[in-house]
Amino acid sequence: MTKSEVVKIILENHQSAPVAFGEAFAPANIALAKYWGKRDEELNLPRTPSLSVSLGQYGSHTKISQTDNGDFYMLNGQVVAADTSFARRLGLYLDLFRPDTDFFFRVETVNSIPTAAGLASSASAYAALVFALNDFFQWRLDKTALSILARLGSGSACRSVYRGFVEWQAGTAESGMDSFALPLAHTWPDLCLGLIEISSEEKPVSSRAGMKRTVQSSVLYKNWPEKVEKDLERLKTAIEKKDFALLGQTAESNALAMHATMIAAWPPLLYWLPQSLETIHKIHRLRDEGLPVFFTMDAGPNIKLLFEAKDKDDVSHQFENIKIIQPFDWAGEKT
């Protein structure tokens, strides 16, 4: 099935009457049980479920309107050139929603995610874009439909339509109509994330290409679905019982297992830099000394610490230039 066939199904019986502009915010998210590997590359359908926590007030704010003579995109106040991969990908996505071929969009996005933190912004960007399109065209779609549309832009974006803990259920349908995110009922106000930037350079292999290579060539990938399934259950128990050690251990182990699948791919995907490894050893040493701090990593060298609010001072004392985020602190922002 193609993206445009899915869009057609979702927008059936929904009016498409653009107003002057649409705008919206969506939070970024970090997975505690990772999405790594697709069963359908066209529709970004995952091989496993995943579970994330949103980044509070940090994410993307997008404003969309109609313009003449071609699309016009701005990112963080700068015009985006049409020949960039960012513009090409966005333009192809917007093609799915143009009422006719000479309908053009002006899209302005501002990311409030600390840019130096090496966090992928495609998740919040595509979720905010879908929210803004929903506002602009007055579709009045529910969150399930919006999550599916966001997934067509970037898989992890389907989780950014909700705040807090979010599960992306993998689904089994060929159309992907059962592959969308759902929020978990529990909150955890004392949970803290610490962003540690190791490098802000663009990574040599994108997540999209990296997961494809891993599925195709990693001898360890066959163990991944079972690992995620177990970790997902552990994480849900940890969240329900507010068992921080279980949450931290599970998230760290899941991230390391994902990296193990990548390292075993060919050509190998080794996103770690020497400083990533130094930081991992430091985290393990601090834990041995009694500080309950864990980490997760995505497809890159940067490290995201997990700890509780009571340990904030000790953690920030240990890591220079750490950026602390409280995922459940989102006063002032609404979606």
- Give the footprint of ligand 2P0 on this chain (CB under 6 A): 31, 34-36, 44, 50, 120, 122, 154-156, 207-208, 298-299
d(CA 64, CA 73): 9
Q: How far is the CB of 137 from ligand 2P0 (least distance, A)?
A: 23
Burial label for 102, CB within 10 Å (0-12, 13-18, 19+), is exposed
> Which residue number, 35 or 73, has a Cβ lying nearer to ligand 2P0?
35
On whether the CB atoms of residues 162 and 54 are closer than 8 A, the answer is: yes
Q: How far is the CB of 211 from ligand 2P0 (least distance, A)?
A: 7
> Which residue number, 270 or 309, has a Cβ lying nearer to ligand 2P0?
270
> Which residue number, 207 or 276, has a Cβ lying nearer to ligand 2P0?
207
> Which residue number, 255 or 286, has a Cβ lying nearer to ligand 2P0?
255
> Which residue number, 175 or 316, has a Cβ lying nearer to ligand 2P0?
175
Cα angle, residue 302 at apex, residues 297 and 307 outer, rounded to 5°: 60
Q: How far is the CB of 227 from ligand 2P0 (least distance, A)?
A: 13
Q: How far is the CB of 154 from ligand 2P0 (least distance, A)?
A: 3
Closest-CA residue to 335 (of 36, 149, 134, 187): 134
For the chain, what's the residue count?
Answer: 335
Alpha helices in the chain (DSSP H): 3-11, 85-95, 122-137, 143-153, 207-217, 224-241, 244-263, 274-288, 312-318
- Packing angle of the helix pair 122-137, 85-95 (nearest 10 deg): 40
Q: How far is CA 303 from CA 84, 195, 234, 271, in A?
A: 28, 6, 22, 11
> Which residue number, 5 or 41, has a Cβ lying nearer to ligand 2P0?
41
d(CA 80, CA 191): 36
> Which residue number, 208 or 236, has a Cβ lying nearer to ligand 2P0?
208
Q: How far is the CB of 153 from ligand 2P0 (least distance, A)?
A: 7
Q: How far is the CB of 16 from ligand 2P0 (least distance, A)?
A: 25
Burial label for 7, CB within 10 Å (0-12, 13-18, 19+), is middle
Q: How far is the CB of 46 from ligand 2P0 (least distance, A)?
A: 8
Q: How do beta strands 104-111 and 72-75 pair? A: parallel
Q: How far is the CB of 253 from ligand 2P0 (least distance, A)?
A: 14
Q: Say which residue the tokens 């002057």 belong to.
A: 20
> Which residue number, 35 or 295, has a Cβ lying nearer to ligand 2P0?
35
Residue nearest ligand 2P0 by beta-carbon distance: 155
Q: Say which residue the tokens 């949103």 belong to.
A: 54
d(CA 137, CA 19): 7
